[in-house]
Amino acid sequence: MIKILYVADIHGSNTCYKKFLNALKLYKVDVGIIMGDLCGKMINPIVKQPDGTFHATVLGQNSRAKTEENLVKIENEIAASGNYSFRTTPEEMDILKAEGKSIQGRIDERAANISLSDGKIDDLFKKLVLERMEYWMELAEERIPGSGIEVYMGAGNDDIMELDGLIDRSSVITHADGNKVTIKDEFEMISSSWSNPTPWDTERECPEEEFRQKLEMLASQVENPSTSIFNFHVPPYNTLIDQAPKLSEELVPSTDETIPAGSKAVSDIIRKYQPMLGLHGHIHESRGIVKIGRTSCLNPGSEYSEGILRGVIIMLKKGKMKDFMFISG
């Protein structure tokens, strides 16, 4: 029996990443897979005031720090939610705002129809993303060696391209995206970070036909599809695991209406090759399992902003999925 822990969409949350590393040993798994949307979405500036205190807005609440201890606490709260913080001054904030873009985040910029172009804010965002990923790689180097656990990682459509190089350099985590790997010398796995078009114009998305070609190129490398794992960040189209809140013209999510947001290319490739298992994420609200022919497709969902790790434990034996269990905590 091979036991796998699969997690997706932690979006920069320090808390969720640390829980993932802890869960590898807690659940006594043989393999850990963390795939898709590793980057956070927002920057929370912590602005030094004339009186020496620091002010920040954290999850909609105003916070003030008078001491270094208070300041570190605010920074930890921001990192736990998946956001990025930086200490700054009113003067620097004025310079950043002069670019005409939102200081808070890339997603906000797109929702507000503000052009995302090269500049100080974009440079700052990439710097903060890479610093956190370097920290995550250091934690992995401390905790994984000697465990006997194989760990695989790959980006998602929302992730900057620069992440790939950091994952490549890890000596304890295997970079899965765009590759075929063999898990425990038994199960072939192919992985893709890309997606079909989204309303957010993200880093790694393309038209369905181009996406289908990318997936076909990967799938054609698989020697035994019936015992393989297709680890595609985006779920198959119009299933129980791709239902997302419908967006208004202003990109405001509905509270009571959903639409399918998965990929037809993913559906087609899974139907064609019929792998043993499909692993997906992307749609945080659509935790569940669906069958496409003989293929079991799973989405563990995500509650990263609350610091809650969602995942799924999967048991494989003799070329089949024997059991699975969704986890949350």
The Cα–Cα gap between 225 and 216 comes to 12
pLDDT for position 119:
78
> 49: which DSSP letter?
P
* Statement to judge: residues 60 and 187 lie in one domain: no
* Statement to judge: residues 56 and 191 lie in one domain: no
pLDDT for position 34:
98
* Statement to judge: residues 144 and 259 lie in one domain: yes
How many domains is the chain built from? 2
* Statement to judge: residues 166 and 90 lie in one domain: no
* Statement to judge: residues 50 and 89 lie in one domain: yes
**Which residue range is the domain that position 78 belongs to?**
43-104
* Statement to judge: residues 204 and 68 lie in one domain: no
pLDDT for position 117:
55
The Cα–Cα gap between 84 and 61 comes to 16
Structural contact between residues 265 and 250, judged by C-beta atoms closer than 8 angstroms: no
pLDDT for position 290:
98
pLDDT for position 97:
81
Looking at residue 153, which CATH number applies to its domain?
A: 3.60.21.10
Does residue 153 lie within any of the structural domains? yes
Does residue 329 lie within any of the structural domains? no
* Statement to judge: residues 283 and 138 lie in one domain: yes
* Statement to judge: residues 221 and 260 lie in one domain: yes
Does residue 16 lie within any of the structural domains? no
pLDDT for position 108:
53
pLDDT for position 157:
95
CB atoms within 10 A of CB 327: 16
pLDDT for position 149:
98
Q: What is the mean pLDDT of each run of 10 residues along the chain (329 residues)?
A: 98 98 98 96 92 90 94 95 94 85 59 60 91 98 97 96 96 97 97 95 94 98 98 98 92 92 98 98 98 98 96 96 97
* Statement to judge: residues 198 and 245 lie in one domain: yes
Distances (CA, A) of 105 to 112, 117, 202, 227, 299: 11, 13, 13, 41, 26
The Cα–Cα gap between 122 and 251 comes to 21
* Statement to judge: residues 137 and 283 lie in one domain: yes
Does residue 315 lie within any of the structural domains? no
The Cα–Cα gap between 310 and 129 comes to 22
Among residues 148, 112, 115, 128, the alpha carbon closest in space to that of 24 is found at 148
Does residue 24 lie within any of the structural domains? no
The Cα–Cα gap between 16 and 80 comes to 8
DSSP-derived secondary structure for 201-258: --TTB--HHHHHHHHHHHHTT-S-GGG-EEEESSPBTTSTT-EEEEE-TT-PEEEEEE
The Cα–Cα gap between 317 and 320 comes to 5
* Statement to judge: residues 169 and 288 lie in one domain: yes
* Statement to judge: residues 230 and 138 lie in one domain: yes
pLDDT for position 106:
53
Does residue 5 lie within any of the structural domains? no
Does residue 320 lie within any of the structural domains? no
pTM for this model (two decimals): 0.94
pLDDT for position 110:
55
Does residue 308 lie within any of the structural domains? no
